[in-house]
């Protein structure tokens, strides 16, 4: 399994676990409709998040133009997916909309925060390693 799939599935498992815990709390305080609505929104966002790993897999071995087309198409499909999975239940009034939207948005906030922290940590670690360009301004004495 490639690194991006491993990362996406690991984050998806953590996010779904957190969504289950929050849904259980919502079940006790607000009832089954709110709990299901929140979990549905979070699960939809996790599916959208994991689809990013599929997009990255499709980039491999492609030209720059093909990669840009795949990326743009994937972005449009993810937006259409989000509009459909959130819009249809909201329009039909199947369950409360606010918990569903909070679940969806919550996953995106956590996902982007975790990614930003991961990138910051990896950049910090690469600066500490020799041979990563940190010594460009230093003189080497023999």
The Cα–Cα gap between 89 and 84 comes to 8
What pTM did the predictor assign? 0.80
Q: How many structural domains does the chain have?
A: 1
CA of residue 3 relative to chain centroid, distance = 15
The Cα–Cα gap between 14 and 115 comes to 13
> Under 8 Å CB-to-CB from 127, ≥6 apart: which residues?
134
Which domain does 101 fall in, by range? 3-123
The Cα–Cα gap between 48 and 30 comes to 27
> Under 8 Å CB-to-CB from 1, ≥6 apart: which residues?
9
Residue 135 lies in a domain: no
Residue 82 lies in a domain: yes
Residue 113 lies in a domain: yes
Residue 128 lies in a domain: no
pLDDT at 130: 59
**CB-count exposure of residue 31 (10 Å: 0-12, 13-18, 19+):** exposed
Residue 104 lies in a domain: yes
Residue 112 lies in a domain: yes
Residue 110 lies in a domain: yes
Average confidence (pLDDT) per 10 residues, the chain, 142 residues: 83 94 96 96 93 82 85 91 95 94 94 81 69 53 54
Residue 32 lies in a domain: yes
Cβ neighbours around 106 below 10 Å, total: 19
Local structure of 141: helix, strand or coil: coil
pLDDT at 132: 53
pLDDT at 139: 54
């Amino acid at each position: 399994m490639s690194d991006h799939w491993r990362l996406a599935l690991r984050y998806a498992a953590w996010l779904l676990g957190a969504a289950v815990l929050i849904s259980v709390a919502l079940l006790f305080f607000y009832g089954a409709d709110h709990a299901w609505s929140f979990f549905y929104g979070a699960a939809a966002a996790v599916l959208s998040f994991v689809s990013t790993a599929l997009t990255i897999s499709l980039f491999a071995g492609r030209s720059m133009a093909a990669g840009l087309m795949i990326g743009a198409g994937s972005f449009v499909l993810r937006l259409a997916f989000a509009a459909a999975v959130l819009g249809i239940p909201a329009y039909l009034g199947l369950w409360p909309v606010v918990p569903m939207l909070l679940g969806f948005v919550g996953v995106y906030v956590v996902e982007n925060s975790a990614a930003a922290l991961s990138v910051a940590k990896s950049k910090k670690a690469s600066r500490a390693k020799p041979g990563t360009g940190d010594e460009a301004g230093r003189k080497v004495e023999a």
